[in-house]
Amino acid sequence: MKSKKLTLLIAMLFIVGFISCEGKEQVKDDSASKDQMVGEATGYATIFDNDKALARDRAIDDAMNKLVKKVLGSTVSGRQVVEDFVLIESIVEAKSSGMVKDWKILKEGAEEGAFVVTIRGRVYPQAVNDTIESTLRNYGRPKFMVLINETFEGKANKPGFTVTELTMMEIMGNAGFEFVDAAMTQQLMRRERSKMQQAIAGRVSGNVQDLLLDDLGAEVIIIGTANTSDQSSTMRGYGIKNMKSKQAILNLKAVDVYTGRILASTSANSPGVHIDEATASKMAIQRCLQRILGKDDEDTGKFKSGPFMNQITKKFLQAATQRMIMMTISGLDFDDLTKFRNQIQHRIRGVSKVYSRGQSGRAAKIEIEFAGKTNDLAEELNAKASNLGFDIKIQETFPNKIMLTAKRIK
Residue 114: CATH number of its domain: 3.30.1660.40
One domain for residues 396 and 377: yes
Whether the pLDDT of residue 131 is over 90: the answer is no
One domain for residues 126 and 147: no
Q: What is the DSSP letter of 213?
A: I
**What CATH number is given to the structural domain containing 293?**
3.40.50.10610
- Total number of domains constituting the chain: 3
One domain for residues 208 and 277: yes
One domain for residues 70 and 175: no
One domain for residues 345 and 296: no
- CA 125/CA 73 separation, integer angstroms: 11
138-176 burial code (b ≥16 CB/10 A, e <16): ebbbbbbbbbbbbebeeeebebbebbbbbbbbebbeebe
* Segment 117-131 mean pLDDT: 88
Whether the pLDDT of residue 20 is over 60: the answer is no
> What percentage of the chain exceeds 90 in pLDDT?
43
CA-closest candidate to residue 222, choices 174, 269, 171: 171
Which residue type sits at 335?
A: D
One domain for residues 302 and 363: no
* Segment 114-132 mean pLDDT: 89
- CA 379/CA 375 separation, integer angstroms: 6
Please say whether the beta carbons of 272 and 248 come within 8 A. yes
Among 319, 335, 353, identify where a domain stops.
319
Which residue would you say has higher pLDDT here, 3 or 401?
401
Q: Which pLDDT band holds residue 384 (cuts at 50, 70, 90)? A: confident
At 157 the three-state DSSP class reads strand
Say if residue 307 is exposed, middle or buried (CB neighbours under 10 Å; 0-12, 13-18, 19+): middle
Please say whether the beta carbons of 227 and 165 come within 8 A. no
**Domain limits at 390?**
321-408
pLDDT, tens digit (0-9, with 9 covering 90-100), for 24-58: 333 333 334 457 889 999 999 888 878 888 889 88
Tell whether 15 is covered by a domain. no
**What CATH number is given to the structural domain containing 383?**
3.30.70
Tell whether 118 is covered by a domain. yes
One domain for residues 210 and 301: yes
- Name the average pLDDT for the chain: 84
Which residue would you say has higher pLDDT here, 316 or 27?
316
Whether the pLDDT of residue 394 is over 90: the answer is yes
Please say whether the beta carbons of 67 and 150 come within 8 A. no
Tell whether 28 is covered by a domain. no
Per-residue pLDDT at 248 = 95
Sign of CA dihedral 255, 375, 85, 70: positive
